[in-house]
């Protein structure tokens, strides 16, 4: 890609292909027209391929957090079990409490995954009817193992399973139907490589049926209302969606499918392998072995460099990485290699970092 701007190696927003950006500049269409129905249907069918699912796909004109709040509120009738391995996982718990949804929190140390057996133990109490899990925790670079968790969830068929895949979906393979994920949600501006402004989720029949048992689902983020409208009104929405971003999404999904899903996931894996090997040569990796996200690498600042200064120097060279998240600021730094980032892009970034730090 020809770069004439600051290139983003941060976990969203990320690089967007020029023709995808241009797709947003086309004239608008009404949100109660045959054209928008066709557009939404096209997007849905492509997302169903990307997520290996037959479930309906819901778009939301909000960032991903909107659908996190929507899912825990719309689909918990009894009590939610929120499994956190960092701030993004905890956000779901805070949202539950702020909406008066009864919830408990399972927390693990930063840098660790949530063991599936911990989830099993909690579910065995029979107290919960919904579980929230993070796939890739963007604060720590840890990826939970969805295969392991899915085997636990299979033993609790009445529990709705929600997965936050905001920083992994589109960069790591997630087979929604085979794993039995009821709600898989993500934002547009991470591994899908679109501008920010929308979120999307898959929703199973089980999750939909659950909403009937929940009295106060709100209005804007009522997943049942959105689902019903899509089904009854041929892929339309209760309120006006971000039509421009939908044009871009349709275009970008063509790019994703043209690259080939396996090729796309393999590219992310190769970028992660390269970045981890580099990190081990010069620093250390923050996440525990065997549970690392392929979309970003969180590096422990073992040399005590100033991450802020490094990023400033990178900025002069037209690149940006991310400092550590929250309490991990300056103790770690994050290199995101997701969406449309290529191996050449990553190599150029790592060469710049070596040059700046004199490695
Ligand atoms: C970025 C992120 C979010 C929040 O997404 P927004 O689109 O900014 O609301 C939630 N979870 C994870 C894992 C993320 O990386």
Band of residue 356 on the pLDDT scale cut at 50, 70, 90:
very high
How many independent structural domains does the chain possess?
2
CA distance 357 to 304: 11
164 touches ligand 1 (CB under 6 Å): yes
In terms of domains, do 238 and 274 share one?
A: no
pLDDT at 2 over 70: no
Q: Look at residue 99 and tell me if it is in a domain.
A: yes
Question: Do both 179 and 154 map to the same domain?
Answer: yes
Q: Find the CATH number of the domain harbouring 32.
A: 3.40.640.10
Mean pLDDT, range 103-109, rounded to an integer: 98
User: For 255-291, how does the pLDDT look when each residue is reduced to its tens digit (9 = 90+)?
Assistant: 999 999 999 999 999 999 999 999 999 999 999 999 9
Which structure tokens are listed for 64? 């991903």
Nearest residue by C-alpha to atom 14 in ligand 1: 166
Q: Which domain holds residue 212?
A: 18-257
CA torsion sign for 260, 262, 264, 267 is negative
- Measured CA to CA, the distance from residue 320 to residue 84 in angstroms comes to 28
* End position of a domain, from candidates 231, 257, 283: 257
Kindly state if the Cβ of 144 falls inside 6 Å of ligand 1.
Answer: no
User: For 53-68, what is the mean pLDDT?
Assistant: 98
Same domain, 48 and 172: yes
Which pLDDT does position 81 carry in this prediction? 98
Nearest to 335 by CA among 1, 2, 10: 10
12 lines ligand 1 (CB under 6 A): yes
Mean pLDDT computed over 118-131: 98
Above 90 in pLDDT, residue 123?
A: yes
Tell me how far the alpha carbon of residue 343 is from its chain's centroid. 22
Mean per-residue pLDDT, 9-19: 97
* The last residue of a domain, from among 234, 257, 280: 257
Q: Is residue 164 part of a domain?
A: yes
**Ligand 1 and 87: CB distance under 6 A:** no
294 Cβ inside 6 Å of ligand 1: no
Q: Is the pTM of this model over 0.85?
A: yes
- pLDDT at position 4 is 79
Lowest mean pLDDT of 193-197, 209-213, 232-236, name the range: 232-236
pLDDT score, position 199 = 98
Mean pLDDT, residues 182-200: 98
Which of 115, 59, 61, 67 minimizes the C-alpha distance to 92?
67
When pLDDT is cut at 50, 70 and 90, the band that residue 168 belongs to is very high
- Helix-helix angle 116-123:146-153, to 10 degrees: 20
Q: Is the CB of 187 under 6 A from ligand 1?
A: yes
> Alpha-carbon dihedral of residues 214, 215, 218, 222, nearest 10 degrees?
40
The Cα–Cα gap between 227 and 238 comes to 10
Cα separation, 246 vs 323, in Å, equals: 31
From the CB of 134, is ligand 1 less than 6 Å away? yes
The number of the ligand 1 atom at minimal distance from the alpha carbon of 136 is 13
Whether the pLDDT of residue 13 is over 90: the answer is yes
pLDDT at position 3: 64
- Best residue for ligand 1 mutational test, from 8, 11, 12, 221 (most atoms within 8 Å of Cβ): 12
Mean residue pLDDT across the chain? 97
* Rounded mean pLDDT, 114-138: 98
For residue 265, give both structure tokens: 């996931």
pLDDT at 48 over 90: yes
Summarize pLDDT for 220-233 with one digit per residue, the tens.
Answer: 999 999 999 999 98
**Are 196 and 233 found together in one domain?**
yes
CB 140 within 8 A of CB 118: no
Structural domain contains residue 2: no
Do residues 144 and 172 lie in contact, with contact meaning Cβ atoms separated by under 8 Å?
A: no
Helices of type H across 99-242: 116-123, 146-153, 176-179, 205-211, 223-232
- Collapsing DSSP to helix, strand or coil, 73 comes out as helix
Query: Domain boundary residue among 238, 257, 276?
Result: 257
In a domain, 243, yes or no: yes
% of the chain with per-residue pLDDT over 70 = 99
- Ligand 1 in contact with 62 (CB < 6 A)? no
- Indicate the DSSP class of residue 204: -
Chain segment 297-338, per-residue pLDDT in tens: 999 999 999 999 999 999 999 999 999 999 999 999 999 999
Q: Kindly state the average pLDDT of the residues 228-239.
A: 93
Rounded to 5 degrees, φ, ψ at 211 are: -60, -25
- The CA distance from 86 to 164, in Å, is 12
Say yes or no: 334 and 271 in one domain.
yes
Q: Report the distance separating Cα 17 and Cα 188, nearest Å.
A: 13
Residue 192 three-state SS: coil
pLDDT level of residue 202 (50, 70, 90 thresholds): very high
Rg for the chain, CA atoms, rounded = 20
Residue 213 within a domain: yes
CATH code: domain of residue 329: 3.90.1150.10
Which protein residue has the closest C-alpha to ligand 1 atom 12? 166
Please give the helix or strand (H or E) that residue 105 lies within, else none.
Answer: strand 103-107
DSSP characters over 273-325: HHHHHHHHHHSEE-SPTT-B-SSEEEEE-TT---HHHHHHHHHHTTEE-EEPP
Q: Identify the three-state secondary structure at position 57.
A: strand
Give the Å distance between the CA of 160 and the centre of ligand 1: 20
């Amino acid at each position: 890609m020809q770069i004439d701007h600051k290139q983003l190696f941060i976990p969203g927003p990320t690089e967007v292909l020029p023709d995808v950006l241009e797709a947003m500049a086309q004239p608008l269409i009404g949100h109660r027209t045959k054209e928008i129905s066709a557009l939404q249907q096209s997007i849905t069918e492509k997302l169903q391929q990307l997520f290996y699912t037959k479930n309906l796909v819901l778009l939301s004109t909000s960032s991903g957090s909107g659908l996190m709040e929507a899912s825990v509120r719309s689909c918990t009738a009894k009590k939610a079990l929120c499994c956190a391995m960092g701030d993004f996982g905890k956000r779901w718990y805070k949202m539950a409490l702020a909406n008066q949804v009864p919830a408990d929190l399972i927390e693990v140390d930063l840098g660790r995954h949530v063991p599936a057996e911990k989830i099993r133990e909690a579910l065995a109490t029979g107290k919960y009817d919904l579980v929230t899990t993070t796939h890739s925790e963007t604060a720590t670079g840890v990826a939970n193992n969805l295969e392991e968790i899915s085997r636990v969830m299979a033993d609790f068929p009445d529990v709705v399973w929600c997965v936050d895949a905001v920083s992994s979906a589109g960069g790591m393979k997630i087979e929604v139907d085979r794993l039995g994920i009821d709600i898989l949600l993500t934002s547009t501006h991470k591994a899908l490589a679109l501008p920010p402004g929308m979120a999307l989720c898959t929703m199973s029949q089980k999750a939909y049926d659950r909403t009937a048992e929940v009295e106060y689902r709100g209005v804007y983020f009522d997943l049942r209302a959105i689902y019903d409208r899509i089904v009854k009104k041929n892929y339309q929405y209760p309120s006006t969606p971000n039509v421009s971003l939908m044009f871009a999404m349709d275009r970008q999904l063509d790019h994703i499918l043209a690259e080939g899903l396996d090729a796309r996931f393999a590219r992310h894996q190769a970028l992660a392998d390269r970045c981890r090997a580099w990190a081990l040569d010069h620093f250390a990796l923050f996440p525990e072995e065997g549970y690392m996200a392929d979309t970003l690498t969180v590096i422990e600042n073992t040399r005590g460099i100033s991450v802020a200064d490094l990023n400033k120097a990178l900025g002069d060279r037209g690149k940006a990485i991310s400092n550590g998240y929250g309490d991990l600021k300056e103790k770690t730094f994050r290199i995101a290699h997701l969406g449309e980032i290529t191996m050449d892009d990553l190599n150029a970034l790592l060469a710049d970092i070596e040059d700046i730090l004199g490695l």
